[in-house]
Amino acid sequence: MKSTRLFPALALLVGLALPAADPAVEAALRRPVDAARYPQAGAVVLLDETVVTLGPQGRSTIEGHQLIRILQDRALRQISDQKIPFRGDSQACDVLVARTHLPSGETREPEASGIMEVSDPEAAAAPFYSTARLKVVSFPGVQIGAVLELKYRIHPLPEAKDQEAPDPFMGELSFGGPEPVLATSLTL
Amino acid sequence: MRLRSAWLMLGLAAAVLRADTDWKALAARFPQAMAVVEDSRETFDVTADGKYLSTTHYRATILQEAGIEQLAKYGDSYYEKYDQMKVKRAVIISPDGKVTPVGPDGIKDLPMPAEGPFYLQNVRLVLVSFPQLQVGSTVEVDMDIRRSAPPMDNTFSLLETLQGGNPVLRQEIQVTLPASMPLAWKVYRGSARFDRQERDGRFIYRWEVGEQPQLVPEPSMPPPQEVCPVLALSTISSWKEVSRWYAGLSREGQKMTPALTRLVAEITAGKTSQEDQIQALYFWVSRNIRYVETAFTGEKAGFKPAPAEQTLERKYGVCRDKAEFLVTLLRSIGVDACNVLITAGVRRDVDIPGIQFNHAIVAIRRADGRFTFLDPTAEDSRQYLPYSDQDKYALVCTDRGETIQATPLTPPAENRMDIALDTVLGADGALGTKVVMEPTGIYDLVFRQYLNSMPPARREQFFTTVAGRMFPGATVKDLVLPDLDDLNAPARMSFTLSAPDQGIRAGDYLIFTTPGQGGRLDLLLASLVSGATAPRRKYPLELSATVESRIRETVRLPKGYTVRSLPVPVDLKEPGTALSRECRPVPEGLAYTESFSASELYFSGDAYQGLRRLLEKRSRLRDGKVILLRQGGAQ
């Protein structure tokens, strides 16, 4: 009886003490970013990892992990609400980590209402896109110098039908973007 | 039972008859229309607590190809937590009269699509898609909507625009209310057949509107709510009642916490006067609380603001949250600040009180009892009240209750672009010009917002593109922009423009146009008045703001040349507008001045024609030639 009570308490303590225990995250957060080196940038992508695991019958899982340091107000307005597109009829999107790392070292996590699932704007335009969904994370407390950390998983819904004739796996990943990227990887 | 059957049969016969629309006759009758709304009926069955069941019947026929896209979808939204929506019937009637129901796949109940910074996770959209439409097809929908969370308890109000982009043959609105809820109503800019019946202690009010022509939009016209027939109805007794209601709704979130107290101290540090403190708090909230809406919260969805404490933690919020936050901070320094409801962008009708607002801002009550309005949603505005909120109706919300009032209109001098040019003309006809632009009001806001949305390199591209369009082959260098994030300083911009071959040499003559003429560098004004091209208008032209444009240019002439001819002076005034220019010799060469101002927002009739004359004259100023003669050259 005692042990079952103790275990959640320990887990809570560990969770609070180590909000960013992932060594890759620690390294990325420690990486110095000289804003003067990126005069055109509103933000710098410190880490952008994508892991795609192919399953049978086209049932794939995609995991993404991003850390973005905000350098300018422009980026604060443009990217503090991160959007992850997925298909609502056959996939689910789980946000595994969403955290604002403040320049002071403190962290803020979105409240429940700050992680949203809405339709893609295209859904209203045509019935074909009516299952297009966006998981949106509105990061709290964002300020210049803060780092936005987002880790998510898109996976097939258990009840989703296998595709009868799944297409060959294909995709496109851009290793660059509108802001400079310091480290990016794709694991297939 | 028999009687009911008879009614049902009658209903069926009517449905069959109605299915047979003579679309060709309608197309001939409405040659401008893409589609025609044959029947639009809404009923509202309201209970004393303000909750209601609404039914909608809509029937429209496609008259031209473009109408297919217009009628391909029909939808409405509802608040997931409190409302219910059901499509009872949706059918397509083909031109040959065949009736095809829309199947379940054609009726979607979706999470509300994201739109800009609005991610309303607990709002849903019911969307009916009509497949395989063709010219002559008719669509028909019947929907039920149950609204169980009235924003203002025990009241009902409605503001319905009775005209749209397609002609309407028949429109009916019916409201059933308990006898205990007295109703005031008015039809603006039109009329409706009205009757009222009493049944079982309830009043049934009915308005029927016959054929309404389609609204054919004109450039820069006021929004439809300002020019179309509008039905306003309400059980609310006065604007003061609405004012007191919203004051009560927002009071709860205005509690100061130690974190908020620390923030206020930090922002106002070193600011000795209360005016400086107000400005510092306004700028901070505008810039540091980003504009985003993540959900409808609470039963008073769309109205109840988030508590100030929560907005500080999030550092984001929608207009009502930002307003609530600023009111809380201002009150903590002893300022009499209040929440305000407003319809931004629309000068609404105000004889009938209601809750149809689209924006929330802040007011400060001054010692003389008057209010200063502030809109902290405008992230890039140095003005407290940006142009979209000016000359609109605002309701200051206080415990004692206020009546609705118009917000002030900024005079043109506070929406001014000052452009100073120092131009050097070479004997080869090349122009070199140092340009300094000093914007205020709408100019400052628009430039700041636009330039701030792009990386610095693109800002240079913007000015180079503009210069190249004005003066072929021109280049821009030495671009200096201010810190666009700093609202304390105006967005003063400067650059050097070099343009070869702008002067034409003809023997001993050198002919050129000074770069400042005709307001070529005032891009915003050109955009604001772009709607003034039509010779005649049905609706007034609405400027977004009063404006003033002032150009001062000094032109240094090449050595050995004297002035033979200058552009003629202009000094014209029309109702609400003025234009002047002068070009005169000065010891260093030429001094050119030009100004244009518009002191009104709306131009119709003679005032519109006067505006057109001035704008046409202004664009012709660009052709004003300076003719120089080389000394000793032929006369």
**How does pLDDT run along chain A (188 residues), one tens digit per residue?**
333 333 333 333 333 334 446 888 888 888 888 888 999 999 999 999 999 998 887 788 999 999 999 999 999 999 999 999 999 988 999 999 999 999 999 999 999 999 999 999 988 887 778 899 999 999 999 999 999 999 999 999 887 766 655 566 777 888 888 899 999 999 99
As a whole number of angstroms, the distance between CA B451 and CA B462 comes to 9
Specify the pLDDT at position B8.
Answer: 33
Specify the pLDDT at position A19.
Answer: 47
Specify the pLDDT at position B276.
Answer: 98
User: Could you tell me the residue range of the domain that residue B20 belongs to?
Assistant: 2-235
Pick the residue from chain B with its C-alpha nearest to A117: B121
Angle between helical axes of B319-332 and B239-251 (0-180°, round to 10): 80
Specify the pLDDT at position A184.
Answer: 93
Test A113 with B115 for CB contact under 8 angstroms: no
Q: B452 touching A, CB under 8 A?
A: yes
- Residue B96 belongs to a domain: yes
**Other C-beta atoms lying within 10 Å of the C-beta of residue B105:** 10
Chain B partners within 8 Å of A35 (Cβ): none
How far away is chain A from the Cα of B18, in angstroms, using its nearest Cα? 28
Using the structure block, give the residue that is written with the tokens 């950390």: A149
Test A118 with B120 for CB contact under 8 angstroms: yes
Q: Are B549 and B441 in contact (CB under 8 A)?
A: no
Specify the pLDDT at position A59.
Answer: 82
Q: Is the pLDDT of residue B112 over 90?
A: yes
As a whole number of angstroms, the distance between CA B569 and CA B585 comes to 13
Test A124 with B113 for CB contact under 8 angstroms: yes
B456 with B578, same domain? yes
Specify the pLDDT at position B468.
Answer: 87
- Residue B190 belongs to a domain: yes
Test B456 with A40 for CB contact under 8 angstroms: yes
What is the biggest distance separating any 2 CA atoms in chain B, rounded to whole angstroms?
111
Q: Are B234 and B242 in contact (CB under 8 A)?
A: no
When mean pLDDT is compared across A54-68, B160-174, B226-240, the lowest value belongs to A54-68
Pick the residue from chain A with its C-alpha nearest to B460: A40
How far away is chain B from the Cα of A102, in angstroms, using its nearest Cα? 12
B493 with B562, same domain? yes
pLDDT-above-90 percentage for chain B: 86
- Residue B635 belongs to a domain: no
Q: B108 touching A, CB under 8 A?
A: yes
pLDDT digit string (tens) for B440-458? 999 999 999 999 999 999 9
Q: Is the pLDDT of residue B5 over 70?
A: no
B449 with B342, same domain? no
Which of B235, B250, B270 marks a domain boundary?
Answer: B235
Pairing of strands A43-53, A184-187: parallel
Chain A partners within 8 Å of B315 (Cβ): 140-143
Chain A partners within 8 Å of B113 (Cβ): 118-124
Pick the residue from chain B with its C-alpha nearest to A144: B288
B516 with B590, same domain? yes
Q: Are B88 and B72 in contact (CB under 8 A)?
A: no
Specify the pLDDT at position B445.
Answer: 96
B103 with B129, same domain? yes
Q: Which burial class, exposed, middle or buried, applies to B192 when counting CB atoms under 10 A from its CB (0-12, 13-18, 19+)?
A: middle
Q: Per-residue confidence at B9, pLDDT binned at 50, 70, 90?
A: very low
Specify the pLDDT at position A166.
Answer: 59
- What's the mean pLDDT when you consider all of chain B? 92
- Residue B139 belongs to a domain: yes
Chain B partners within 8 Å of A73 (Cβ): 287, 452, 485
Test A118 with B294 for CB contact under 8 angstroms: no
Q: B75 touching A, CB under 8 A?
A: yes
Q: B269 touching A, CB under 8 A?
A: no
Q: Is the pLDDT of residue B301 over 80?
A: no
Nearest to B456 among A39, A83, A118 (CB): A39
Chain B partners within 8 Å of A36 (Cβ): none
Residues of A contacting chain B (CB within 8 angstroms): 39-42, 72-74, 76-78, 80-81, 83, 108, 111, 113-114, 116-124, 127, 130, 133-134, 136, 138, 140-143
Nearest to A140 among B110, B313, B454 (CB): B313
Closest of B564, B611, B558, B619 to residue B594, by C-alpha: B619
Test B314 with A111 for CB contact under 8 angstroms: yes
B159 with B125, same domain? yes
Best of B304, B309, B314 to mutate (most A CBs within 10 Å, chain A): B314
Which residues are paired to B594 by β-bridges? B551, B581
Q: Are B92 and B74 in contact (CB under 8 A)?
A: no
Test A42 with B455 for CB contact under 8 angstroms: yes
Chain B partners within 8 Å of A86 (Cβ): none
Classify residue B118 by its DSSP letter: B
Mind listing the domains of chain A with CATH numbers? Answer: 43-159+173-187 (2.60.40.3140)
Test A124 with B457 for CB contact under 8 angstroms: no
Q: Per-residue confidence at B633, pLDDT binned at 50, 70, 90?
A: low
CATH of the domain at B623: 2.60.120.1130
Closest of B240, B246, B235 to residue B183, by C-alpha: B235
pLDDT digit string (tens) for B500-510? 988 999 999 99
Nearest to B294 among A40, A114, A127 (CB): A114
CATH of the domain at B81: 2.60.40.3140
Specify the pLDDT at position A53.
Answer: 93
- Distance from CA of residue B123 to its chain's centroid? 24
Q: Which two tokens stand for residue B605?
A: 């009739």
As a whole number of angstroms, the distance between CA B402 and CA B389 comes to 18
Nearest to B114 among A74, A114, A118 (CB): A118
B148 with B248, same domain? no
B181 with B96, same domain? yes
Tell me how many domains chain B contains. Answer: 3
Which of B408, B441, B466 marks a domain boundary?
Answer: B408
Q: Is the pLDDT of residue B157 over 70?
A: yes
pLDDT digit string (tens) for B367-407? 999 999 999 999 999 999 999 999 999 999 999 999 999 99
Pick the residue from chain B with its C-alpha nearest to A111: B314
B552 with B500, same domain? yes
* Average pLDDT score over residue span B80-104: 94
Test A41 with B455 for CB contact under 8 angstroms: yes
Specify the pLDDT at position A58.
Answer: 74
pLDDT digit string (tens) for B244-290? 999 999 999 999 999 999 999 999 999 999 999 999 999 999 999 99
Q: Is the pLDDT of residue B207 over 70?
A: yes
Using the structure block, give the residue that is written with the tokens 């209402």: A113
- Residue B591 belongs to a domain: yes
Residues 137-196 of B with CB under 8 A from A: none
B508 with B563, same domain? yes
Chain A partners within 8 Å of B128 (Cβ): none
* Average pLDDT score over residue span B194-201: 95
Q: Per-residue confidence at B13, pLDDT binned at 50, 70, 90?
A: very low
Establish, for the pair of chains A and B, how many residue pairs have beta carbons separated by less than 8 Å. Answer: 98
Q: B450 touching A, CB under 8 A?
A: no
Nearest to B113 among A72, A114, A120 (CB): A120
Specify the pLDDT at position A147.
Answer: 97
Test B452 with A124 for CB contact under 8 angstroms: no
Which of B408, B428, B453 marks a domain boundary?
Answer: B408
Q: Is the pLDDT of residue B472 over 80?
A: yes
Q: B77 touching A, CB under 8 A?
A: no
CATH of the domain at B342: 3.10.620.30
B395 with B426, same domain? no
* Average pLDDT score over residue span B608-622: 91
Test A119 with B297 for CB contact under 8 angstroms: no
B477 with B617, same domain? yes
Best of B290, B322, B379, B448 to mutate (most A CBs within 10 Å, chain A): B290
pLDDT digit string (tens) for B498-542? 999 889 999 999 999 998 888 888 888 888 888 898 999 999 999
* Average pLDDT score over residue span B43-72: 97
DSSP-assigned states of every residue in B377-444: T-TT-SSSS-GGGTTSEEEEE-SS----EEPP---GGGSEEEEEEEEEE-TTS-EEEEEEEEE-THHH
Sign of CA dihedral A31, A35, A40, A42: positive
Test A118 with B125 for CB contact under 8 angstroms: no
ipTM of the complex: 0.87
Nearest to B113 among A74, A114, A121 (CB): A121
Which residues are paired to B628 by β-bridges? B510, B563
Chain B partners within 8 Å of A80 (Cβ): 290, 292, 316
